[in-house]
Amino acid sequence: MKICEIKDLLGAEVLCGEELMEHDVASACCSDMMSDVLAYVKDQGVLLTGLVNPQVIRTANMMDMVCIVFVRNKEPSEAMLELARDFGLVVMRSSLRAFEACGRLYEGGLGGKLGDAHV
């Protein structure tokens, strides 16, 4: 699925990375605990979260993600967006709650996998 399709499914606003909207992603994950993302997530393209701090951007970059969607209309700071630009990440904001956002992506055909982890 292309990031532009994710934007449409979630009714999201692109905050940075507009030039990367045609990038393909195969899966997504959702968490507000970056320690869980680091421990369990493998091969994810999109991170959905309600946590707004610079560690989200750093975690996504470390895990080779290409897109972050802040749910519940959470607003990242300009410093966070600058860091995301430096890392080449798309950052979006959606008014949806995490549960509904994940459901729409799953229904739209985007999967999620946890590698070898069992949660």
**Token digits for 37?**
């993302």
Q: Is 113 inside any structural domain? A: no
Domain range for residue 75? Answer: 3-107
Q: What pLDDT score does 44 carry?
A: 73
117 pLDDT more than 60:
no
Express each pLDDT in 8-41 by its tens digit: 999 999 999 999 999 999 989 999 999 988 887 7
Structurally, how many domains does the chain consist of?
1
Structure-model confidence comparison of residues 116 and 67, the more confident one: 67
CATH of the domain at 61: 3.40.1390.20
Residue 26 lies in a domain: yes
Quick one: pLDDT at residue 61?
94
Model confidence pLDDT, tens digit, residues 62-102: 999 999 999 999 999 999 999 999 999 999 999 999 999 99
| 78 part of a folded domain | yes
Within-domain flag for 115: no
Residue 78, burial from CB neighbour count under 10 angstroms (0-12, 13-18, 19+): exposed
Residue 118 falls within a domain, yes or no?
no
Flag whether 117 is in a domain.
Answer: no
Question: Sorting pLDDT into bands at 50, 70 and 90, what band is 118?
Answer: very low
